[in-house]
Amino acid sequence: MALSQWLMIMILFIHSSSSGRLLWKMKVHVHEVQEQRAREHLKLHSASMEQAFEGNMEQPLDHFNHHKNSTFTQRFFVNKVYWKCPHGPVFLYIGGEGPLTQFSVLAGHHVSMAKKHGALLVALEHRFYGQSIVPGGLEIQNLQYLSSQQALADLAAFHLHISEKFSLTCWNIWISFGGSYAGALSAWFRGKFPHLVFGAVASSAPVQAKLDFSAYNTVVGHSLLDESVGGSDKCVEAVREAFSVVEAALFGGNETQVGKDFDCCETPKSPEDRTELLQVLADIFLGTVQYNEEVGPLTVAYLCDIMTNQSDEGAYRRLVKLTKIYLHTLGHTPCLDVSRGETISELNRTSDSGIPGYRQWFYQTCSEFGFYQTCEDASCPFSRRLTLQTQTQLCPLLFNIPQSTLPANIHFTNQYYGGEEPRTQQVLYVNGDIDPWMALSIVRNGTSDDHRAILIHSSAHCADMNPATTRDRPSLTHARQEIERCVSVWLKRAELEHRI
């Protein structure tokens, strides 16, 4: 595969939890790339997409108000080709903040484990995402029904629906899987409904809500220092210098030249547009670190090679070069969109015709999680203008959620689920040690009856969930083996408990 093709894949492989409209635009394309790779994988292994079938079920719009009769249609997928009927286990793949496809039950590490254990594969799309959106559902009055609590109740109802559809009994042991936000849902589903799911794998799961998620950029900075993945002191120094020069030029009267240098769609004249440009430039580093070595050569090592290349004069020029590489590999993006007004316009769309999931997820950050990736502390290698205020000021503007209520919203989430000490047992938390989201996950083992944790050296966001490849680091291969052992132990334990 050509370098430009690999770079394109890397650019697209960005998780939706990241801030910045640029990353969300990239996410629109990631499904196409992943699906193409899954198709090739299925062809290679003589498997067919017809193994999966799509279904729909009616869900209450509000599980917690029995006087309200409104419902919506929720999409799910099933793959029963590996299922050892009637007593084989059930592997539940939980959808997160984006559309779900049939590949949720056709490809991935959980699918390879399902083949080994004879499991029925099922997956549920998250409410208000993909095709599971209430008509007019993105209007403010309906978004109140978009929450993790409602999503867990959806999963409980889905458990009953599948159990009735396939005549399941207590002998059919359920194990849940999820990554990132869906990883947190996987852990919380086990915590809140332990009678429905026996064990849960939670990959890169931010189970602690955090208003000011400054630790995200702190971990990014540390990862850019990490020599095991190609980082260095010189790299971080160059990044700091580059952002310092860009910021000084932007707010020192040279915004026209900066706009030309970085191929901006329009000159960033307002302070808000200049800050938007700084966020876009930071997103280049965030995306590269978060998914390091997952696809193609655009890695921390490659990025740092560019930023420390002495043949290019000055850190500013190296950052310009790096940005042009991104624009070139995106192809369909002729210029860098840095309009704050356009961001607000996109977030105000009340249909999912714009950037899928963008408005919904921002609502959840305001109402439940925070997760605002700020750069106000000294450890952040980017611009100090990426503040909490620049992000949270959109909550009242878009959703009528006052900024003053955000701390209480985050506090409730942590009280409800346990925060950094989640009320979970038989949950396996899996994280990569260069993944910025590990800062809000569980990276240490609990007691013998509590949760377990796997921290994968030099690994990135949700890497363990992907199918194994020959390019995988030994640490990632070992982690998948540990996950398989843990799932096997749960299934044997469940079988013994039922016999007793």
**What per-residue confidence (pLDDT) applies to 82?**
96
pLDDT at residue number 143: 96
Q: Does 173 share its domain with 251?
A: no
Contact 133, 97 (CB under 8 A): no
User: Do 254 and 146 share a structural domain?
Assistant: no
Per residue in 197-249, pLDDT (tens digit) is 999 999 999 999 999 999 999 999 999 999 999 999 999 999 999 999 999 99
Residue 351: phi, psi to the nearest 5? -125, 165
185, 151, 205: which is closest to 15 by C-alpha?
205
pTM to 2 decimals? 0.93
Is 192 within the bounds of a domain?
Answer: yes
Per-residue confidence (pLDDT) for residue 225, from 0 to 100 = 96
Residue 9 confidence (pLDDT): 32
Same domain, 216 and 184: no
The C-alpha atoms of residue 478 and residue 246 are separated, in whole angstroms, by 42
Question: CATH code at 91?
Answer: 3.40.50.1820
Domain shared by 197 and 301, yes or no: no
237 and 110 in a common domain: no
Tell me the C-alpha distance between 462 and 431, whole Å: 7
Number of domains in the chain: 2
What's the rounded Cα separation, in Å, for the pair 233 and 256?
Answer: 32
Residues 374 and 432 in one domain: no
Query: Are the C-beta atoms of residues 359 and 351 closer than 8 Å to each other?
Result: no
54 & 148 share domain: yes
As a whole number of angstroms, the distance between CA 468 and CA 477 comes to 7
Residue 129 tokens, joined: 């995402």
- The residues assigned a catalytic role are 180, 435, 461
Same domain, 216 and 84: no
- Given 410, 431, 456, the domain boundary residue is 410
Contact present, 292 and 460 (Cβ < 8 Å):
yes
**Are both 228 and 315 inside the same structural domain?**
yes
Reduced to 3 states (helix: H, G, I; strand: E, B; else coil), residue 497 is: helix
> Are 436 and 296 part of one and the same domain?
no
Please indicate, yes or no, whether residues 328 and 404 belong to a single structural domain of this protein. Answer: yes
Domain end, chosen from 368, 389, 410, is at: 410
* Residue 246, domain member (yes or no): yes
Q: Tens of pLDDT along 13-42? A: 333 344 566 555 554 444 555 566 666 766
Which residues constitute the domain of residue 289? Answer: 211-410
Assign residue 294 the CATH number of its domain.
1.20.120.980
Q: For position 22, what pLDDT does the model report?
A: 54
Residue 38 in any domain: the answer is no
pLDDT attached to residue 151: 98
Low-confidence ranges of the chain (pLDDT < 70): 1-39, 41-49, 295-297, 329-333, 353, 448-449, 500
Predicted local distance difference test score (pLDDT) of residue 258: 97
Q: Choose one of 379, 410, 441: the last residue of a domain.
A: 410
Are residues 127 and 164 located together in one domain of the fold?
yes
> Which tokens is 10 given?
């890397």
Looking at residue 469, what is its pLDDT?
A: 84
